A and B are shown apart, each in its own frame.
Chain A
């Protein structure tokens, strides 16, 4: 195990890193990959096929290590373990809810203990800027687990004043074995989003991390065991979507599947659930989220949030503010400042303290983004800056800004998932509402205005699961998150997020006499 003490960064460099959480240590210089196998029943297994797959560092395209490749048979094995852990009378089923909460808190403690190593791995494997990984991903991960830890014994059923001589109440019971398929853009954070509510409600899980970024999830698996979760409660099967993922979504013995990823795959998962056993489905999918900037807003704030809303994590966020609608009268100035902001970026090795943008996750994404940039140029958008690859090694793309974008262009309709900002012009409120809602997606939206009436009216009519007013990308475990329309089904986080991991059971008992 690598040491927990990072190198101290010089005092003068620390100022940039202050965020109310103290200072950020330097990433670990030396680390070793310890966990590369399939985690079932709190034990490590080779894949049944004997196959392995390589995991890369996207900053230099070098192989980090090989990981056991789970497929259908491994998923079957994991489901069997999860099913067994969910048996009536098992240690997990007979455990007090408060104890489930305690285990989740302990897991959060262990993640905090290994925070530096995990943040370093997340940065190396995911191309994520280290300070982001340390502060946002790891900070968020710990907060989420603690948030749900304390729901464990507070997720109350109800007693119900039913008509007649009966006593009626509900129990909020776990659904059972939950398949959880998580993406590569926030490997640890999405793992925490999935594990937190599932475990606090008493489910057992079979997790498939993304094939690009399995390493931190496997490290967390070791912490799950160390925390003391009974065998079979959490099982982690690294592998590919069309094999292991498909096996999960069509499995007859999985009661629920939760997926975060593309809308294209989301459709397939819902279909697979319908074709197999009607497992419950929750989906967090793609977006093409509008961010609307009115002339009366504070322009510096709006430029900065709109910029971060798109460029954070190399544009690889499902909520990316990828349709920026700016009111006509401030359009030119807004574009000018946005371009100026985008040009300030330092690209490079995400472990380096001065670097603000790392590489895209892999070659496929890199190629797709460059293709969409080319389409933007061809379709007549004005390229203000960037527009191509950066460097000659790793999947780096220059921060790119397009102005004069019109709604029918591909870059205005398709999810790019890269550092490419589209700035559109609008005149009236009615027009911008209509244009903002004119998409199959409905994940998030932003509004910048100082006008109360505009803020309340527009936040009400935008078809989006989350609306940010005078901010963007503000997430918190307490607030539910999820999509309208084809951006998903269901909500994660907050009390609402518990619903996805529960079956409600109504128990009605005959009584001899009723008294209020």
Chain B
């Protein structure tokens, strides 16, 4: 076991978590996880591949067999286990927040206050659903009694991203476990550490072996093995639209597993001229730069109404220039490094494209340090809709500000995208707020705010930003099979159908 700086890594295992036990990769391979602030290796982690996925799926399937401890467990007790997991995460909150910052690069204050807080709230929210996700009794026509059961789907593969490692883990585990599924989770190769620590807590909380299995590894190997696995009943993926396609295709080529996807975005943030300008500037800044710009719902197309455009741009640039970039463990730091070299280079590539295609670079535009993957807060003005930086997801601290004249025009431009994850509107006018929130093609619309997430509010994409919803009651649908049970009821009215010699006593739709 290794350690990094003051943080001891001896508290948990860096192996594959299957059946509440720790395993080396079948291949014995390991991979390095890197500290993005320095570019240095933190430690080596077991590298899961197809053989390990097979092992994990077998364990999960066994935990899901009829009569298993998990299948026989009271729903209320599943809720109690999820609450206990939340308690343990809260107990170790400072450690987990530190580990998250070390591995991902996000400022420690954010890890501690935002990520960990939302993790706890999400798990506790779904803990409460465990014994409240009711089926229905149904007034079916005819002499039958009918009801539905909301049953777990079975073995759920969950592939989570590196931008919010702990939070995305909670978003996935909460609804899956509340509804009684078993899980094989692949964590991102950039940020496997906190998920593995949580694996320890899952065991400590008392989940039966095999209910949660965690396989660190790479997308094309471990991820592909899950997406095309014949024994996996459902796959939930958060990541890029490009990979989302591969996963849907793999499901179609294998066993028609259910698919939910939370993918990329190029979310419009619309500032009407009647908005509170100070607030709008600050929120638009936050909408894009939060988490180093590494948010699928980042407000990466800021549409500003013509008459306030110059003033808005000026204030936005001043705000971006004041943004403190540096060591994420420093309490003054607002922005840490990007997650890895690949992202770092990709973002710089987009910035160059923006310059080439004629956008006006107003601040930033390059790396922000000699080592580590830091990028300067960057703003482009005079951005046109057809520029690459206005249509592709950059996933970095690069803000595009566009001008618009009329509300009809901005709706058309905002919707002219293959994405439809989120959108925001800043206005004091109730009619404008209502019109825009109805017309925008986005799974979430924020009015006079941005990035407001609650475990209670569903989140997901229109169009190519995804399929299905996470969070809220809606998020439970993605983890249940509905079973209709209809029972012939002879007490209600004696059924004469069989006594008649009419050839078809069955009531198909009637």
Q: Which residues of A contact B (CB under 8 A)?
A: 15-19, 88, 129, 131-132, 135-137, 139-141, 143-144, 158, 160-164, 166, 168, 170-171, 186, 189, 255, 263, 266-275, 277-278, 280, 283, 285, 300-301, 304-305, 308-309, 312, 356, 433, 440, 455, 459-461, 464-482, 484-486, 488-489, 491, 494-496, 499, 503-510
- Select the residue from B250, B503, B504 with max chain A CB neighbours within 10 A: B503
- Using Cβ atoms and an 8 Å threshold, which residues of chain A touch B128? none
Judge whether B467 and A278 touch: CB under 8 Å.
Answer: yes
For the complex of A and B, list the 9 residue pairs with the smallest distance between their C-beta atoms, beginning with the closest: A140-B509, A274-B248, A271-B252, A270-B252, A274-B249, A162-B454, A471-B488, A470-B488, A510-B448
Judge whether A277 and B500 touch: CB under 8 Å.
Answer: no
With A267-B253, A270-B251, A485-B255 in contact, do A509 and B457 touch (Cβ < 8 Å)? no
Q: Is B51 interfacial (CB-CB < 8 Å)?
A: no
B463, B464, B498: the one contacting A300 at CB < 8 Å is: B498
Judge whether B502 and A168 touch: CB under 8 Å.
Answer: no
A-side interface mostly: mixed
Q: Is B363 interfacial (CB-CB < 8 Å)?
A: no
- Select the residue from B66, B458, B484, B503 with max chain A CB neighbours within 10 A: B484
Given contacts A274-B245, A509-B449, 16 further A-B contacts (CB under 8 A): A143-B141, A144-B509, A271-B252, A272-B252, A273-B252, A274-B246, A274-B247, A278-B463, A304-B505, A433-B66, A455-B487, A475-B507, A481-B484, A489-B258, A507-B447, A508-B449
- Using Cβ atoms and an 8 Å threshold, which residues of chain A touch B246? 274
- Select the residue from A129, A461, A506 with max chain B CB neighbours within 10 A: A506
Judge whether B144 and A474 touch: CB under 8 Å.
Answer: yes
Q: Is B469 interfacial (CB-CB < 8 Å)?
A: yes
Instruction: Name which residue of chain A comes closest to B477, CB basis.
Output: A499
With A163-B454, A504-B458, A510-B449 in contact, do A283 and B256 touch (Cβ < 8 Å)? yes
- Using Cβ atoms and an 8 Å threshold, which residues of chain B touch A471? 144, 486-488
Mask, B412-445, CB within 8 Å of A = 1, is: 0000001000000000000001000111001111
Judge whether A170 and B66 touch: CB under 8 Å.
Answer: no
Judge whether A275 and B141 touch: CB under 8 Å.
Answer: no
Judge whether B447 and A263 touch: CB under 8 Å.
Answer: no
A455 and B483 alpha carbons, distance in the complex (Å) = 14
Q: Is B17 interfacial (CB-CB < 8 Å)?
A: no
A495 and B248 alpha carbons, distance in the complex (Å) = 26
Judge whether B484 and A508 touch: CB under 8 Å.
Answer: no
Interface size counted on chain B using CB atoms at 8 A: 83
With A479-B140, A508-B447 in contact, do A467 and B485 touch (Cβ < 8 Å)? yes
Smallest distance from the beta carbon of A299 to chain B beta carbons, Å?
Answer: 12
Judge whether A474 and B448 touch: CB under 8 Å.
Answer: no
Judge whether A508 and B501 touch: CB under 8 Å.
Answer: no
Q: Is B274 interfacial (CB-CB < 8 Å)?
A: no
Smallest distance from the beta carbon of A80 to chain B beta carbons, Å?
Answer: 17
Smallest distance from the beta carbon of A164 to chain B beta carbons, Å?
Answer: 7
Q: Is B466 interfacial (CB-CB < 8 Å)?
A: yes
A270, A278, A510: the one contacting B447 at CB < 8 Å is: A510
B251, B481, B497: the one contacting A274 at CB < 8 Å is: B251
- Using Cβ atoms and an 8 Å threshold, which residues of chain A touch B505? 304, 308
- Using Cβ atoms and an 8 Å threshold, which residues of chain A touch B458? 170, 504, 506
Instruction: Name which residue of chain B comes closest to A171, CB basis.
Output: B438
